[in-house]
Amino acid sequence: MAALTFAELLILGSLMSVSNFATNITTALAPGLAIDYAMLTVSRYREEPAAERTVPGAVVRTVETTGRTIVFSAAPVATALATLLVFNPYFLRSLAYAGIGVVITTSAVSGTVVLPAALALLRHRVNAWKMSFLKVTEARKSQLWGRAATTAMRRPVLYAAPIIVLLMISAIGLNNVQFATPGNTVLPTVAESRQMGDILLFLFTGSVILPLRALAVSLNRLR
């Protein structure tokens, strides 16, 4: 799924500026989301045969339950990353392009299409490589978090409203925020590295990241 995101970045890179930080968030998010969604889907599928369902019925039921969970889990992540599109620095926009691409391809394509198709082909062989030496213990239900989740789902507006207000209050300090790429200008003027950077910018035209061509002449040839 990361390959699809890299293809997306390749297309966007031919149309606009894309920061190299986009590859970092792609390689960071893609494996984590893919493993998380895959474990959730496979675990749900393995519970279905125990309920005496056929393989096609188990796959359909898995997509109906786990697939919906994956989509609703990925939607807030994609929405949060989309907020980076409102900022002017292109490297922040690049993080949004990569993150949204990873979330969409991982959740919509991998979690709800590719993996269920693979489970339909594997059928009952999904348990063929079961590791018998590992101890399987029944997960204990957390009463605290279970009660909190149930209460929040019963009254979503009551719990969401104060959280949204708190986030809006926290965002007030970002009204005058200014973003810039890292460089010598972020250092104080008394720093030697800042002074050297200013000298280079003054003496040499163009970008400081461009190569400098220097000509070295032997002293023996000058004599």
- Among candidate residues 171, 184, 37, the one with its CA nearest the CA of residue 112: 37
Task: Indicate the residue type of 222.
Answer: L
Torsion over CA of 157, 162, 167 and 168, rounded to 10 degrees? 90
Whether 164 is in a domain gets the answer no
Instruction: Provide the pLDDT for residue 203.
Output: 77
Instruction: Provide the pLDDT for residue 166.
Output: 92
Whether 148 is in a domain gets the answer no
Whether 212 is in a domain gets the answer no
How many domains does the chain fold into? 1
Instruction: Provide the pLDDT for residue 37.
Output: 85
The tokens for 34 are 């893919």
- Among candidate residues 186, 180, 2, 183, the one with its CA nearest the CA of residue 90: 180
* Start-end of H helices in 105-209: 115-122, 143-154, 156-170, 192-203
The predicted model scores a pTM of: 0.64
Instruction: Provide the pLDDT for residue 137.
Output: 64
Q: Which residues contact 48 (CB under 8 A, 6 or more apart)?
A: 57, 58, 61, 62
Instruction: Provide the pLDDT for residue 165.
Output: 93
Whether 167 is in a domain gets the answer no
Whether 208 is in a domain gets the answer no
Task: Indicate the residue type of 116.
Answer: P
Whether 155 is in a domain gets the answer no
Domain that holds residue 80: 2-127
Task: Give the DSSP per-residue string, 16-43.
Answer: S---THHHHHHHHHHHHHHHHHHHHHHH
Express each pLDDT in 136-194 by its tens digit.
666 666 678 888 888 888 888 898 899 999 988 988 877 777 766 667 777 888 888 88
- Among candidate residues 44, 50, 43, 111, the one with its CA nearest the CA of residue 77: 111
Whether 140 is in a domain gets the answer no
pLDDT under 50: residue ranges of the chain = none
Whether 6 is in a domain gets the answer yes
